Amino acid sequence: MRTKKLHTILLLLFALMLGQAARSQGRIVINEYMPWTLNGCGATSEFVELLNFGPGPMDIGGYVLTDGDFAVTIPLNTIVPAGGYYVISGQSIINAPCANIDSTIHAQLNWNTCGCTSGPIPTTGDGFFTDGGSANEQVVLLDRRRRVVDAVIRSLPAEPSSPITAYTSDGTTFIFNLDQMNIDYEVLGMSAGRGNSFARKLDGDCGWVKDPQQSANATNNTPSVTSDISYDFSYVNTMDCNAARGSIQVYVRTSNYATYFPMSYTLAYDVNGDGQFGLDDQYSTDRDSTAPDIYLTGLAAGHYRITVESRLGCSLKSFEFKILSCLPVLPVQLIYFRSTASPAYQLEWLLNDRSEFGNLVLERSAPGGKFTTEKIFLPFEGGGRSVFRLRPGTEHDHFRLKMIRSDGSFVYSPIVMAPGAASNGVKAWPNPARDQVSLRLPSADARQLPYRIYSLKGEIVAQGVFSLTQGVNTVVIPVATLPLGLYQLAAQGEQPICIRFVKS
């Protein structure tokens, strides 16, 4: 049996990494560049297109673009949104067909007018890049700490470089020489052609093409060109239900996993719930060395975006998803609530924070009956972990915790059965289902219970209301019209209900 490494992402981890967010919000790559322009376009229509693949925005102020002879420092507070392009060129407006074969391009940074270069860049002749099909011109992007963000080259060995005096983001200068740096280039393996840009096969891909249809500041999906790697996203658990938190899988499809693994990823969490991933949201990064997939578990309810990349720093792909909440927000975090038969019949529970906690009430119910108070615990009684020994006559009952906030509001834990108790909980059958799903729903009294059915994308695909009577109810949900797939039924009554079923 293959053992799979689990990457647990909890909100605590997000909070700890908040101070590092600016360094891990997005992934900037050199996505396309034009080293030898068309006749009639002139050397100033050369361009370099940067792409932020996400998952969040990136502040690239102070980054340095260089070819080994000149350096261009990007101005402070330059924010590139996730999925956004940033075009650097020798002119502000590049008319068609010099950068886009069918449209005019407005460059975000003009290296001839920005006052941000290491020296005057020629406007005639070779310009920024060395012309000619055999020129081994390199293109390197450095971050504010002079670390290599991305580096591409037509072929090795690279053209000789010289010491360059570049500006920093605070207006001072520093000197660097590409020949003295250990740079792992992406080697394109093709000669330059006049009017042909070098572009990634797909945005963020590891493969490159010599593209006659330049696409500065636009998606570069060259017709009939495919990548050597693809990804499938799927939910493992769509809901955050106490111990069973949300989890996802990104499956990698390739013929050579050794080329691309270990995979890295950046996970964005929409902290303020505004539906956007901004500078104030939380980001974490990690690595998965075990092919063929990336598996994340321990995801709290909320809105996420994940961007994955291969060990080569390319083959980028982003997925946006939501983990649904099964329970209301608790005044405390219930680590566990369980029953044991050894060394004695007893209940155990552990709370990790009770600062906003009023009282804790242990409630008991005989099968099919109403819950009644068994014992009231004070907020700090037991030091977090609590043990309640069952008395004779309660061994076959059901228990739950009623957690009361200081303002008087409350929420229930999941129901726990004492050792040896017969299940009186929710049950669904058949599973997989074709036309309908039958549910067994116990209820302490007669009530109307609204429910919703969610797809794997978190979309509501069906909803309705159960009419329950006191005792154990059997209800039927029609599912014949639902597409094939995995679904989650959720209902929030006195006790939360979360059921997964497959439509086959």
Instruction: Name the segment(s) of the chain with CATH classification 2.60.40.1260.
Output: 23-211
Q: 58 with 21: CB under 8 angstroms?
A: no
Indicate the CATH number of 427-503 among 3.40.50.920, 2.60.40.3080, 3.30.1360.230, 3.20.20.70. Answer: 2.60.40.3080
Is the C-alpha dihedral spanning 45, 48, 50, 51 positive or negative? positive
CA distances from 129 to 46, 111, 113, 302, 432 (A): 8, 13, 17, 46, 61
The amino acid at residue 35 is P
Residue 495 has a pLDDT of 61
Indicate the CATH number of 23-211 among 2.60.40.1260, 2.60.40.420, 1.10.260.40, 3.40.1360.10. Answer: 2.60.40.1260
Q: 316 with 342: CB under 8 angstroms?
A: no
Instruction: Name the segment(s) of the chain with CATH classification 2.60.40.10.
Output: 7-19+228-325, 334-417
The amino acid at residue 137 is E
The residues pairing with 117 across neighbouring beta strands, listed in sequence order, are 72
* Edge-to-edge strands, sheet with 229-237: 7-8, 293-299, 246-254, 229-237
CA distances from 112 to 43, 76, 91, 109 (A): 11, 18, 7, 9
The residues pairing with 478 across neighbouring beta strands, listed in sequence order, are 436
Indicate the CATH number of 334-417 among 2.60.40.10, 3.40.1350.10, 3.40.190.10, 1.10.540.10. Answer: 2.60.40.10
The alpha carbon of residue 417 and the mean position of all alpha carbons in its chain are separated, in whole angstroms, by: 37
Q: Return d(Cα 105, Cα 85) in angstroms, integer.
A: 12
Which stretch of DSSP H or E encloses residue 15?
helix 11-16
Q: 200 with 220: CB under 8 angstroms?
A: yes
Q: Return d(Cα 367, Cα 364) in angstroms, integer.
A: 10
CA distances from 365 to 74, 395, 401, 491 (A): 67, 11, 12, 21
Q: CATH classification of 7-19+228-325 is 2.60.40.10, yes or no?
A: yes
Instruction: Name the segment(s) of the chain with CATH classification 2.60.40.3080.
Output: 427-503
- Tens-digit pLDDT string for the chain (504 aa): 233 334 444 443 333 333 333 445 999 999 999 999 988 999 999 999 999 999 999 999 999 999 999 999 999 999 999 999 999 999 999 999 998 888 899 999 999 999 999 999 999 999 999 887 777 889 999 999 999 999 999 999 988 998 999 988 677 899 999 999 999 999 998 888 888 899 998 999 999 988 866 788 887 666 677 889 999 888 777 778 756 678 888 999 999 999 999 999 999 999 888 889 998 899 999 999 988 889 898 898 899 999 999 999 999 999 999 888 765 444 456 677 788 776 678 888 887 665 556 678 888 877 656 778 888 876 555 456 788 888 766 655 778 888 777 767 677 777 777 765 555 566 778 878 889 988 888 777 788 888 888 887 777 888 888 888 877 788 899 999 999 888 888 776 656 677 778 888
Contacts 24+ apart (CB under 8 A), 467-473: 468/441, 468/443, 469/443, 470/443, 470/444, 470/445, 470/446, 471/368, 471/442, 471/443, 472/368, 472/424, 472/440, 472/441, 472/442, 472/443, 473/440, 473/441, 473/442, 473/443
